[in-house]
Amino acid sequence: MRKFAFIITTILLSLGICIYFFAAYHAAESTSISERLAAVKNYKYYLDKGNESIGKEMAKVDLVIVEPIEMQQRYIDQAQRNGTLVYGYINAMEADKWNSELYNQLLEEDFYRDDHGEKMYFSEWDSYSVDMTSEHFQDLLLKEIKTQIVQKELDGVFLDTVGNINSFLPEKEQQVQNEAMLSFIKKIKQQYDGLSVAQNWGFQTLADYTAPYVDFIMWEDFTFEVVVKDEWSLDMMKQLVEIREKFGTQVMTIGFSDEKKSRALAEKYDFKFFFSPAGSYYNTWQ
């Protein structure tokens, strides 16, 4: 009799757990992406392979940004079943040589060249600046998004290096590249059923072009001692609040040092915060 009661109890507990996760999953599905992003309390940015431990940690956070070429599908699925939003990394304004499958499809017209015809090379990342006005490059990137984001059923695409336009290109060339970026993001929305889009940096690009189509923007090195003394940063925080109020674009910040003060400053503006003592290297789970 005791054995029978134990079996019944075990079955009921298992059923209860299944119902809980089923309800949590479908509750998340019924809530819009913008509402879920607004409710994010903690998030992670990780660009390497997963393992059992990392997979469990991914399932505990509200949002995680991963490198979809590296991250195994089972950990993505596991996180999503537990209500985690999973965004996939795509390098928008640089061509990474490590991603040889994409890199080897590039034509010469896809690379950005300066007035002297020279390519722009980033030695730290072993990558080249690209020309977003190239239709061929946009088509390649759209196919990459289909393969790495849409077919793997991630919740959104995270476009890195959008800020390169205003940070590295001559002012006379910024408008045409920003317009091309806007056109590209519109294509993502049109071709992939309104897929959620996020971008890294590019605050002026966001303000002048992409805000209506971007669900969150990332601000790296949101470090107290840097940001609080910088007039540009203070103005930008206010501008990002205004953009959020108008378009619902959330702000994901990353602090590199002084975690307590940096987090407090982010929370003052209702920005999301992630602490990365390793700086802009996201190949370890932090």
- Name the residue with higher pLDDT: 6 or 66: 66
Give the tokens for residue 248: 């619902």
If asked whether residues 25 and 50 sit together in one domain, one would say no
Residue 281 covered by a domain: no
> Over the stretch 30-61, which tens digit does the pLDDT of each residue have?
589 999 999 999 999 999 999 999 999 999 99
Say whether both 5 and 99 belong to one domain.
no
Domains identified in the chain, total number: 2
Write out pLDDT tens, residues 162-201.
999 999 999 999 999 999 999 999 999 999 999 999 999 9
Q: What is the pLDDT of residues 110-119, one digit of tens each?
A: 999 999 999 9
Q: Which long-range contacts (CB under 8 A, 24 or more apart) does 8-15 make?
A: none
Q: What global pTM score does this model have? A: 0.89
Q: Residue 7 is part of which domain span?
A: 1-30
The pLDDT-based confidence of 9 (bands split at 50, 70, 90) is very low
User: Is residue 280 in a domain?
Assistant: no
286 and 277 in contact (C-beta within 8 Å)?
Answer: yes
Model confidence band, residue 106 (pLDDT cutoffs 50, 70, 90)? very high
| 206 and 226 together in one domain | yes
- H/E stretch holding 259 reads helix 259-268
Confidence of residue 29 (pLDDT cuts 50, 70, 90): low
**Is the distance from CB of 26 to CB of 34 less than 8 angstroms?**
no
pLDDT of 20 higher than 60: no
Q: Structure tokens of 180? A: 């091309």
Residue 78 has pLDDT above 50, yes or no: yes
Q: Taken in order 274, 277, 283, 286, is the CA torsion positive or negative?
A: negative
**Per-residue pLDDT tens digits for 202-255:** 999 999 999 999 999 999 999 999 999 999 999 999 999 999 999 999 999 999
* 235 shares a domain with 171: yes
Q: Is residue 259 part of a domain?
A: yes
- Tell me how far apart the alpha carbons of residues 176 and 157 are, in angstroms, rounded to a whole number: 23
Interatomic CA distance for residues 15 and 28, integer angstroms = 20
**Quick one: 19 and 58 in the same domain?**
no
pLDDT at 30: 58
Residue 31: what pLDDT? Answer: 85
Residue 76 lies in a domain: yes
- Tell me: do 20 and 119 sit in the same domain: no
The reply to whether 120 and 161 lie within a common domain is yes
Mean pLDDT computed over every residue of the chain: 93
- Is 58 part of a structural domain of the chain? yes
